[in-house]
Amino acid sequence: MRSAILGVGSYVPTKVVTNDDLAKMMSTSDEWIYTRSGIRERRFIEESGIGASDLAVPASKMAMERAGVTADEVDAIVFATLSPDYNFPGGGCFLGDKLGMNGKCALDVRNQCSGFLYGLSVADAWVRVGMYKNVLVVGSEVHSTGVEFTDRGRAVSVLFGDGAGAVIVGPSKGENHGILSLNLHADGVGAKDLWCEAPASAIDPRLSPEMLAEGRHYPQMVGKKVFRWAVEKMPAAANEALSDAGLTIDDVDLFVPHQANMRINQMVASNMGFDDDRVVHNIENYGNTTAATIPMALDAAIGDGRLKDGTTVLFSAFGSGFTWAGGVVRF
Ligand code: UT7
């Protein structure tokens, strides 16, 4: 038995932050940000107190409604985030409580930009072996409280935005419908090339005034190295997914890559032979929303009419870990 994505939802906070807004806080410009990354604006939470699990609530409800299932009919949550509301417990527990899914399985996934595809693979396996019938897979991030809006932090803080996306994974409706392949990869050789060190259980104390002063609680990235890995690993994961599904590029209706940088995605898509109308880009309006990106992009493609029943979608993601993943899903 195959599993399938039965419903998709997304949610972004209402506060729009443009590149010009950021340029008032640090030495940057719309020109630098747009030219390097393709980002024009992103969304931030409206006020302190809104966590990734809060953004996930409306996204999850939309996914459930579109799948035609109620919270009672969902057996488990897989919650992918690098920005959980609190250090522990995981965001899945908070989300389950907010959705009234008390007592149901809630698993958090910590695989950053690949987190949604990692989470999808867990749901896929659960459904295929019959352990659960309907699984809610969520990617949700609040980056705006975790990056540094100063000259020191500008290389990272201009890239990220807040948002949530969700899908319901359940039994497929036929042989040609559903998750056709998924592949997952990681290489810790790059673990410290895109990471957030503190609070660190490997360090005693986990967080000190010195660490705060040095900004070690903010994400750090060796951008050029991450870029080089991304342009190699994203097509590799996509091609592996196609080959595992027995498909070629010509069979793909829509390519939905993770959105870390418009330049990465244009390079990957054109090297693979995709014309622009078969590629989903949403980075311009939302920035990099890490685990939320792919389900948010799916919802955007439903909105613009490109994702319908029967559409074959190719996924590819790369990010911190390093982790990368690919997949093919027929809707
Ligand atoms: O989602 C996870 C995966 N992440 C990625 O895939 C990201 C991959 N990397 C990238 O997308 C690019 O490396 C960036 C967009 C992050 C940066 O582009 P870059 O061309 O690699 O720039 P750079 O980091 O080499 O910085 C170039 C210059 C530096 O100044 P100098 O040393 O040349 O004088 C930076 O200090 O730009 C400066 N700079 C900025 N200037 C204005 C860095 N950040 C900013 C900024 N505004 N926000």
Decide: 288 in ligand 1 pocket, CB within 6 A: yes
Say if residue 64's pLDDT is above 90. yes
Please check whether residues 145 and 222 belong to one and the same domain.
no
Domain termination residue (choose one: 171, 186, 201): 171
Please check whether residues 154 and 290 belong to one and the same domain.
no
Decide if 176 contacts 330 (C-beta within 8 A).
yes
Please check whether residues 143 and 272 belong to one and the same domain.
no
- 176 among known catalytic residues: no
Please check whether residues 217 and 96 belong to one and the same domain.
no
Q: What is the pLDDT of residues 8-53, one digit of tens each?
A: 999 999 999 999 999 999 999 999 999 999 999 999 999 999 999 9
Active-site position among 258, 261, 265, 282: 258
Please check whether residues 89 and 166 belong to one and the same domain.
yes
Please check whether residues 156 and 45 belong to one and the same domain.
yes
Which atom from ligand 1 is nearest to the alpha carbon of 155?
44
- 288 among known catalytic residues: yes
Please check whether residues 25 and 99 belong to one and the same domain.
yes
Say if residue 195's pLDDT is above 90. yes
Please check whether residues 187 and 159 belong to one and the same domain.
no
Domain termination residue (choose one: 146, 171, 196): 171
**How many folded domains does the chain comprise?**
2
- 258 among known catalytic residues: yes
Please check whether residues 233 and 306 belong to one and the same domain.
yes
CATH label of the domain that carries residue 262? 3.40.47.10
Which segments of the chain are extended strands (E)?
3-11, 15-18, 41-44, 76-80, 105-109, 135-141, 163-171, 178-186, 194-195, 220-221, 254-257, 312-319, 323-330
Q: What is the pLDDT of residues 236-291, one digit of tens each?
A: 999 999 999 999 999 999 999 999 999 999 999 999 999 999 999 999 999 999 99
* Domain extent at residue 150: 3-171
DSSP 8-state symbol, 153 = T
* Model confidence pTM above 0.95: yes
Please check whether residues 241 and 270 belong to one and the same domain.
yes
Q: What is the pLDDT of residues 291-314, one digit of tens each?
A: 999 999 999 999 999 999 999 999
Please check whether residues 99 and 157 belong to one and the same domain.
yes
Decide: 171 in ligand 1 pocket, CB within 6 A: no
Please check whether residues 187 and 156 belong to one and the same domain.
no
